[in-house]
Structure 1
Amino acid sequence: MSSITEPSGNSGSAPFFSKQATVAKPGFSRWMVPPAALAVHLCIGQAYAFSVFNGPLTKVIGITQSSADDWSLTSLGWIFSLAIVFLGLSAAFAGKWLERVGPRRTMFTAACCFGGGFLVSALGVYLHQIVLLYLGYGVIGGIGLGLGYVSPVSTLIRWFPDRRGMATGMAIMGFGGGAMIAAPLSVALMNHFRSATSIGVAETFVVLGIAYFISMTIGALAIRVPPVDWKPAGWTPAATSQNRMISRNHVHIDQALKTPQFYLIWLVLFLNVTAGIGILGQASVMIQESFKNTVTAAAAAGFVGLLSLFNMGGRFVWASASDWIGRKNTYFIFFALGAVLYYLVPGFAASGHIALFVLAYCVILTMYGGGFATVPAYLADMFGTAFVGGIHGRLLTAWAAAGVAGPVLVNYIRAYEVAHGVAKADAYTMTVHIMAVLLVVGFVCNLLVKRVDDRHHMTDAQLAKGA
């Protein structure tokens, strides 16, 4: 059964940004598609490095130190929060549009929004109007983040029906690694543009906005979709049809929201991300308080960097492994192994085993990143490929919810424990045990995921009409 989102026809006569114009010609190598996706994801991954601007932005007027008229860190914190909110909103609500217009127009729109958001923010810094930073990076840039995140996913899945996990893992690994490029680059640019009258942030925003626009546009121009009924040489759907968890049918984006599978996978992603994101945000403080007078601030920074590497690597390794062991089994490992490690971590800290403590959290962070990269293939297995981009976009609301729940659990439970006399070194014990319980709940949710009922599948006539 062919997908309505894999157009056919003569692409040479179609408008350049139309979906028809992106249909690959004979001889096109599918291995050209992952670099196009990476060109986008490595750019939008900058979001994880935005904190490098917070300190300098508090000194825009004072230059060497904050003045009375400079922005506060609390005011600046809303920039990133808005970006994540609009990432989730744009990914969720632009799903149908993405499937209708195709990846090239969506990726180019993402380039315009993300690059343009930096330029608006640069104007905000120059005029010292924080509302322009909220609008620029937070709203416009956030929309670019969401569109850029989901736009290559469905295309990769269609090009790699035999390796769905590996393909999406390659792209989403880029989002995890984008900050590793953006952080030192941003610092170097600010130092280059710093002067007696400028902190260098506005100029850096302009350079980044232009650079990211160019890179993302290159990705948009390079992207291609496969022709109708295309499949890799030597591969047939019958080879995987024995796995009842991999559907050869398609479910409409609106119909997917009427299935229990969507909400169970929503909970699977939400619980997996909640268990990791709160710890990731407090990693530096946590290891210093757990090993007081042993771990320095510099060593803690190294720990954070190590977690980032494992977060990035886990996106590719686990997603690729899921092609062999299955998506459901991959999440079983995430939840079972994660729960055990969270339960053991306080004991490692209490006994002074820093190496085991670090190793446990590194493994946990591989599964945190792996959860992001594996879920698009999980959705394609359950709902088919016709609307997987839009369905994935709506599922990312779980990320937004976990982005609130994880830090709240870690920060408020720790504060409660310390306020009631618990030593700081022991204040995370209850938190990580709660995380272990959440992962057990996630294990049960994953266990309940079954094959989508036939009544939700689209007919050939509906596919042909694009209904």
Structure 2
Amino acid sequence: MDENQLQAKKIQNRWLVVIAAVILELALGAIYAWSTFASYLKTEESWTSSETQWVFSAGTLALAIAVIFAGKLNEKFGPQKLIILSAIVTGSGYILGGILPLRPISIILTVGLIGGAGIGIAYALPISVCSKWFPDKKGLVTGLGMAGFGTGSLIWQYLLQGVFYDAVGISWTFIIYGICFIIMIMFSYFFIYNPPEGYTVAGYDPSLAKNASDTMEEVNYERKEMLKMPQFYFLFYTLMVGSGAGLMVIGISKIWSQQVLIRLEYENAAAIATFAAAVIYPLFNGLGRIVMGWFSDKIGWKLSIIIMDSVQAITFFLMAILVRSPATLYIGMAIIAFNYGANFTVFPMATGGVFGRKYLSANYGWVFFSFGIGAIFGPPLGGYFNDINLQVTAFIISGISLVIGVLLTFLIKQPKKPSSN
């Protein structure tokens, strides 16, 4: 049986690719459960807040850098080899974290850098693969896959708090998580692969672009060309502030909202703030990825960014008013989480829309690196404003940054010079 026959035999229900992508991203989304680990390390191992933050920052930066290299490797070797590598690296990072002493330097190196790099190796693969299987529903299926990453923390936090911590402690939880990640990531190996050459979807017309900034399907730009274009830097800035501002506000909203509710004499202020951060946030983080993915299929990525960042900016400006009761707090947190999560569905669509989809996995790695920059500066700035009791200032700065991003998005036009590809 030749290669073409083998590839043709591989065509099965394309929704299996999406289901595997969700399972893959559920494993990778464990990085968002770090705050629960951090709380135990602070109380049981006497870590400082700064030390716990460094683990998350190291993991996020390693993730963002790994996405860049993985995008290029995906073009050369295909997604399945990278899935194997991700399973080994991610699992090893957490297992080593459980074996070594629970010291900041060892956890930064293992769970942070190694685990974060393993997550980054596979993180963007569903974006590339699903968009190829679903050229007619790129936004929706990308959102479904990415929703696993946004909501995965619910599972891992629950297991840590409700099962593993009391039973086996933190070290063994790291080991068990590492084994689970290996199994879940390897499961996706059997379903996440590129469609055969020439694969088409009946009834799909690629010439029906959703907005004037989309390239035609046959126009593709490589990384070197993309990095010379202002469109790349507009997208880079807008994702950086969208993710960084979201992380800044989310990082301080729990403590700040609890303080406000205490002043308003809510006896269960701590429980209300915890529910907003631990349940409302991850649920709407995942929901935003699905809904805005579907929405971007309907109205295009450009208008989607303008709408979600405008709403996000208004919400930040109004946060001081919203945190006045449990209901308004939940509404505010839901909107922020929804729009924060939507970034990671809409911006892959924007990258493909502007620079073409042939090199999407490599090109989006460079756009996604802005998330790493935002994650480095956002949470520490939020912590600074929280320490000096100027939380509202953080909200206002975030809102202004997003308004600038909206203005830049209006300026993004289709590149004038087609690639020679």
TM-score (norm. length: structure 1): 0.83
Q: What does 1:16-415 align with in structure 2 at a 5 Å threshold?
A: 23=7, 25=9, 27-57=11-41, 66=45, 72=48, 74-125=50-101, 130-187=104-161, 188-193=163-168, 200-240=169-209, 243=212, 245-248=214-217, 249-291=219-261, 292=263, 293-294=265-266, 296-304=269-277, 305-349=279-323, 352=324, 354-415=326-387
Higher Rg of the two aligned structures: 1
C-alpha RMSD of matched pairs (Å): 2.3
Whether the 8 Å contact between 1:24 and 1:225 is mirrored in structure 2 is no
Deviation at 1:138, TM superposition (A): 1.7
Q: What does 1:415-454 align with in structure 2 at a 5 Å threshold?
A: 415-416=387-388, 418=389, 427-454=390-417
Letter in 2 for 1:220: Y
Aligned pair in 2 of structure 1 residues 51, 410: CA closer, same or farther (>3 Å)? closer
Give the Cα separation in 2 of the matches to 1:131 and 1:74: 12
Give the Cα separation in 2 of the matches to 1:432 and 1:257: 31
Deviation at 1:239, TM superposition (A): 3.5
Between 352-361 and 263-272, report the one with greater CA deviation.
352-361
Deviation at 1:231, TM superposition (A): 1.4
Question: Any unmatched runs of 5+ in structure 1?
Answer: 1-8, 13-20, 60-64, 194-199, 419-426, 460-467
Deviation at 1:76, TM superposition (A): 4.1
Whether the 8 Å contact between 2:80 and 2:192 is mirrored in structure 1 is yes
Aligned pair in 2 of structure 1 residues 356, 220: CA closer, same or farther (>3 Å)? same
Whether the 8 Å contact between 1:247 and 1:383 is mirrored in structure 2 is no
Please list the CA deviations of residues 17-58 of structure 1 after superposition, one character each: whole Å capped at 9, or x if unmatched: xxxx8x453642211111121221100101111232234445
Give the Cα separation in 2 of the matches to 1:386 and 1:105: 19
Identity between Structure 1 and Structure 2 (%)? 27
Give the Cα separation in 2 of the matches to 1:148 and 1:257: 23
Deviation at 1:432, TM superposition (A): 1.8
TM-score (norm. length: structure 2): 0.91
Give the Cα separation in 1 of the matches to 2:369 and 2:309: 20
Whether the 8 Å contact between 2:31 and 2:116 is mirrored in structure 1 is no
Give the Cα separation in 1 of the matches to 2:206 and 2:185: 33
Please list the CA deviations of residues 198-225 of structure 1 after superposition, one character each: whole Å capped at 9, or x if unmatched: xx22222222111110110010222121
Between 255-264 and 72-81, report the one with greater CA deviation.
72-81
Give the Cα separation in 2 of the matches to 1:391 and 1:313: 25
Whether the 8 Å contact between 1:336 and 1:439 is mirrored in structure 2 is yes
Letter in 1 for 2:306: F
Aligned twin of 1:62: none
Letter in 1 for 2:177: L
Deviation at 1:373, TM superposition (A): 1.4
Deviation at 1:289, TM superposition (A): 2.4
Corresponding residue SS for 1:282: helix
Aligned pair in 2 of structure 1 residues 210, 368: CA closer, same or farther (>3 Å)? same
Letter in 2 for 1:48: Y
Question: Any unmatched runs of 5+ in structure 2?
Answer: none
Give the Cα separation in 2 of the matches to 1:348 and 1:84: 30
Letter in 2 for 1:191: D
Deviation at 1:10, TM superposition (A): 0.3
Corresponding residue SS for 1:226: coil
Give the Cα separation in 1 of the matches to 2:152 and 2:73: 26
Aligned pair in 2 of structure 1 residues 80, 102: CA closer, same or farther (>3 Å)? same
Please list the CA deviations of residues 83-136 of structure 1 after superposition, one character each: whole Å capped at 9, or x if unmatched: 1111111112332112111110111111111111111112213xx565432332
User: Would you say how many aligned residue pairs link Structure 1 and Structure 2?
Assistant: 414
Give the Cα separation in 2 of the matches to 1:218 and 1:212: 10
Letter in 1 for 2:164: L
Letter in 1 for 2:402: L
Letter in 2 for 1:288: Q
Give the Cα separation in 2 of the matches to 1:415 and 1:223: 45
